[in-house]
Amino acid sequence: MTYVLTLQGVGCSFSKESGPVLSGVSLDVRAGEFVSVVGASGSGKSTLFKLIAGLLEPDCGEIRLRGAKAGGRLGKVSYMPQKDLLLPWRTVLANCLLPLEIARSRTEPAKREITARLKDFGLAGLEHAYPDELSGGMRQRVAFLRTIAGGQELLLLDEPFGALDAMTKRDMQRWLLGLWSELGKTVLFITHDLEEALLLSDRIYMMSGTGQGGSGVREMIVPLPRPRRYEMVYEAGFAGLRQELERRLHA
């Protein structure tokens, strides 16, 4: 079994006075998995992602990528924050090429690949459009395509659909369900939406937050078959799983 990401006893604090933001966090993500992280606001989910991405360093514990202790993690994983952060003066294509430009990689082959992917992302014919010409859902798709274009195996997606209206969010969930299996990527996904976590994930990590005992995370395996359909959310078995997830979160 190949582990793309392993955290063991990771802790982080911003100051001695404020106490730990994360304490004793251990988790793993296997190759090809879709794993979600859920928990109340302030439980440290976004801090966890910043640690994995290399934007922060832990005070204690280990972070390993592909089994190797991972110092200098910047650029080794692809990270999509909550806001799309598209540059308004760059076109869709130019925004998607940004990670390659930063890495000083060849962009000509990437231009052809990104242009070919636009149809799969519901963005056909929009390579020369600017962000302010796009809907919220389209902007998130561009941001996701830019994340994919970075070429890393592990994708960190921090509430990518959280700011969208309910109907657009459902459309994006359906779209991601259909697309993920074709991408061959490993995903770690933050969400506050329990239905979204169950629908998309193989496993779910529940973060309690250090203010509730500092116990790190607990795991729930999602026993739903793949491929999945959005209509599963209306089935009795799915409702039971949601109830169980909510019970565990508040236990």
SS3 64: strand
Using CA atoms, how far apart are residues 79 and 82, in angstroms rounded to an integer? 10
- 59 and 90 inside one domain: no
So what's the pLDDT on residue 244?
94
For 120, the token pair is: 């799969």
Q: String of b and e for 182-218 (b: at least 16 CB within 10 Å)? A: eeebbbbbbbebbbbbbbbbbbbbbbbbbeeeeebbe
- pLDDT of amino acid 179: 80
Within this chain, do residues 147 and 158 fall inside the same structural domain, yes or no? Answer: no
- Do 52 and 121 reside in the same domain of the chain? no
Q: What per-residue confidence (pLDDT) applies to 187?
A: 92
Looking at the structure, tell me whether residues 23 and 133 fall in a common domain.
no
**End-of-domain residue from the set 130, 151, 172:** 151
Question: The whole model's pTM is what?
Answer: 0.88
pLDDT single digits (tens) 185-233:
899 999 989 999 999 999 999 987 544 444 468 999 999 998 888 899 9
Residue 209's pLDDT is 58
Contact assessment for residue 81 and residue 158, using Cβ atoms and an 8 Å cutoff: yes
Domain boundary among 129, 151, 173: 151
Cβ atoms of residues 197 and 204 within 8 Å: yes
Please tell me the distance from the alpha carbon of residue 245 to that of residue 41, in angstroms, as a whole number: 17
Distance CA 193, CA 164 (A): 12
Q: Look at residues 151, 179, 209 and tell me which one is the last residue of a structural domain.
A: 151
- Structural domain boundaries, residue 129: 85-151
pLDDT < 70 stretches in the chain: 1, 16-18, 70, 106-107, 209-216
Q: Are residues 172 and 147 in the same domain?
A: no
- What CATH number does the domain containing 42 carry? 3.40.50.300
Residues in the chain: 251
Confidence (pLDDT) at 1: 66
| 209 lies in the same domain as 180 | yes
Indicate the number of domains in the chain.
Answer: 2
145 and 23, same structural domain?
A: no
Residue 51 and residue 25 in one domain: yes
| 186 in Cβ contact with 160 (< 8 Å) | no
The helix (run of H) or strand (run of E) holding residue 219 is: strand 217-221
Q: Does residue 179 share a domain with residue 239? A: yes
For residues 157 and 239, membership in a common domain is answered with yes
Asked if 48 and 92 sit in the same domain, the reply is no
pLDDT of residue 17: 67
Whether residue 10 contacts residue 25, with contact meaning beta carbons closer than 8 Å, is answered with yes
Residues 71 and 100 in one domain: no
Q: What is the pLDDT of residue 119?
A: 85
